[in-house]
Amino acid sequence: MRIHQILLFASLTFSASSHADSTQSQSTKRPTIITDNAMVAAANPLAVKAGVDVLAAGGTAADAAVAVQMMLNLVEPQSSGIGGGAFMLYWDATAKELRTFDGREKAPASATPAYFQNANGEPLKFWDAVVGGRSVGVPGTLKLLEHVHKKYGNQQWMDLLEPTIATARQGFKVSPRLASSIKSAQERKLDLFEPAKSYFFNKDGTPLKAGSYLTNDDFARALRHIGRLGSAPFYTGKIAEDIAQAVKTNTNPGELTLDDLAGYEVIERQPVCAPYRSYSVCGMGPPTSGGLTMAQILSLLSNHDLPAMGPSVNAWHLFIEAAKLAYADRGMYMADTDFVKMPTGLLDKAYMMQRAALIDPTVAMPKAEAGIPPDESAYKFSPDLQPERVGTSHFSIVDQFGNIVSMTTTIETGFGSRVMTNGFLLNNELTDFSFTDMKDGKPIANRVEGGKRPRSSMSPTIVFKDGAPVLAIGSPGGSRIINYVTQKVIAILDWEMDLQQALDLPHVVNRNGNTDLEERTAATDYQQALEELGHTVKVRPLNSGLHAIAIKDGKLHGAADSRREGIAAGF
């Protein structure tokens, strides 16, 4: 298939799927896209086109990641952008080496454990904490992109920003998903502050409708500046000054300073890799809990013959029980390891066997308690159940040289803090910290601390077989991300599903509490049987945004979650 044919398909796919609202979970029966050389799977066709064009010009996956993220910032601003943070896995095909990069936001240096508490020491209500500058952490996405581009890119930095600059000036059509998100967010004070109010709403105060044309000259100017000078204006120059001012002059002002911005650094961390069947499943380590929690779930399930069970009630029961145990450990132990001494044995084989023995195939356990892994120095915490809210975006890229990007990127809750400057929204990532700092006389690992990065559930993943990559995958979805991505890995590896079929498989989710079944899908058929096993079941919308590329028989297989507007395309 030639590149222009695939991009034509991309346009048709966007048109055909654009009338599904954000809670619609029915499959559109898209095909898996198969190409020979290179591919991008991302949340918006314009972002995919920007990335594929870079690859077609000879760029690497690192180059394409810059183009994709910048365009997503423009056309899907509610989910990610340079005002937020990200985690990236990068497979260097030449060195045959997996690298993982932490571009997570940081708390201001002045932040204390009482940052989200009132004068009486009581935690704030979630939305009271979100709206305004107080929830804004030091953004890391731009510095992450620049860092990886310098290591692995071969295209000019400015050239990678040009497509977004041009689209911002010329304008783009508001997608149905963006329009629906704006309308929903109006109830959560998206129209409280300028310039977000004027940007997302008409003069009469009504939210923009799908098909409206939207331009963003402020963002174009900011990107032009960044294109010439790199990330410096954002972290130490005029844009940095604007960010610090915007954070301080809004309702619920924050403490982020120019020194906080200037001191931000991307951290390269060790990948978290765990064996599963004949594969190695690799993800990102703390401060995201995604890689470790996924690895625990898969380890607990490796003792069961899921391939023979298929997507059945018995398989889902086992998955739910494994998820309960893993989320219990997540809540107790997982946080930014630069501030918290975590147990070293969370994936210890004997410990995993001990935890797996708690799973009864015939009856549901109550809420799971955290285990005691083999590292006594870490047993001083109380569990944190602060959930991340849905938001975020994910994209997967494979270039013609064999390099791979799996990147999950976010401004946290849809539209972040509602604070906007220079044409982009600022995150509300600090609300991923626990608002409570102590419980039962013990500190909570994910409490707020100055300079600390809040715990995340983002789970960018690359799967290997015999040392070679076979799958890049990830999803948005708040604290449900871990469930979404782990299930799809099982569907692809154990149940040998076609990639698109796997991504569209109805969701069954547990975060160590109720079991959620995706409404209006075949998942609801399991409700009675799961309840008979002792599960408390709720049927609800579960809106993932999975984007995946599999490498199989010398071909690239790409798919995008039918629940959203994304596509896969390549050449």
Q: To the nearest 10°, the Cα dihedral for 414, 415, 417, 421?
A: 160
User: Is residue 75 classed as helix, strand or coil in its secondary structure?
Assistant: helix
313-333 and 481-493 are packed helices; what angle lies between their axes, rounded to 10 degrees? Answer: 140
Question: In the Cβ-directed half-sphere of 52, how many Cα atoms lie within 13 Å?
Answer: 27
**Within a domain: 465:** yes
**CA–CA dist 391, 429 (Å, integer):** 11
CA-to-CA dists, residue 86 to 35, 44, 137, 277, 412, angstroms: 27, 18, 12, 29, 10
Would strands 537-540 and 515-518 be described as parallel, antiparallel, or unpaired?
A: parallel
Task: Name the pairing type of β-strands 33-35 and 555-560.
Answer: antiparallel
Tell me if the bond preceding 123 is cis, omega within 30° of 0.
no
**Residue 122 corresponds to which tokens in the numbers above?**
């009581």
Q: How far is CA 510 from the centre of its chain?
A: 18
Residues 321-356 as b/e (b if ≥16 CB within 10 A, e otherwise) read bbbbbbbbbbbbbbbbeebbebbebbbbeebbeebb
Residue 480 in domain: yes
Compute the distance between CA of residue 179 and CA of residue 160 in angstroms, rounded to an integer.
27
Residue at 475 is within a domain: yes
**Does some domain include residue 183?**
yes
Residue 53 phi, psi dihedral angles, 5° rounding: -60, -40
279, part of any domain: no
SS3 assignment, position 353: helix
CA–CA gap between residue 471 and residue 492 (Å, rounded): 9
Alpha carbon distance 38, 404 (integer Å): 10
* Residue 434, domain extent: 3-267+387-546+557-570
Give the strand pairing for 515-518 and 267-269: unpaired
Phi and psi angles of residue 443, each rounded to the nearest 5 degrees, phi first: -70, 155
Beta bridge partners of 231: none
Instruction: Spell out the per-residue pLDDT of the chain, length 571, in tens.
Output: 334 334 434 433 333 333 333 333 344 579 999 999 999 999 999 999 999 999 999 999 999 999 999 999 999 999 999 999 999 999 999 999 999 999 999 999 999 999 999 999 999 999 999 999 999 999 999 999 999 999 999 999 999 999 999 999 999 999 999 999 999 999 999 999 999 999 999 999 999 999 999 999 999 999 999 999 999 999 999 999 999 999 998 789 999 999 999 999 999 999 999 999 999 999 999 999 999 999 999 999 999 999 999 999 999 999 999 999 999 999 999 999 999 999 989 999 999 999 999 999 999 999 999 999 998 665 577 777 666 666 799 999 999 999 999 999 999 999 999 999 999 999 999 999 999 999 888 899 999 999 999 999 999 999 999 999 999 999 999 999 999 999 999 999 999 999 999 999 999 999 999 999 999 999 999 999 999 999 999 999 999 999 999 999 999 999 999 999 999 999 9
Cα 180 off chain centre by: 20
User: Which pLDDT value is given to residue 377?
Assistant: 60
Confirm whether 392 is a catalytic residue.
yes
* Alpha-carbon torsion (117, 78, 293, 539), positive or negative: positive
Nearest to 22 by CA among 40, 43, 52, 51: 43
pLDDT of residue 386: 65
Number of structural domains, the chain? 1
Catalytic residue of the set 392, 431, 461, 521: 392
| Omega cis (within 30) before 287 | yes
226: CATH:
3.60.20.40
Pull the structure tokens for residue 20: 């599904």
pLDDT at 376: 60
Q: Are strands 213-214 and 267-269 parallel, antiparallel or unpaired?
A: unpaired
Is 303 inside a domain boundary?
no
| CA–CA separation, 316 and 309 (whole Å) | 10
Q: How many CB atoms lie within 10 A of CB 377?
A: 9
Which helix or strand (DSSP H or E) is residue 53 part of? helix 45-56
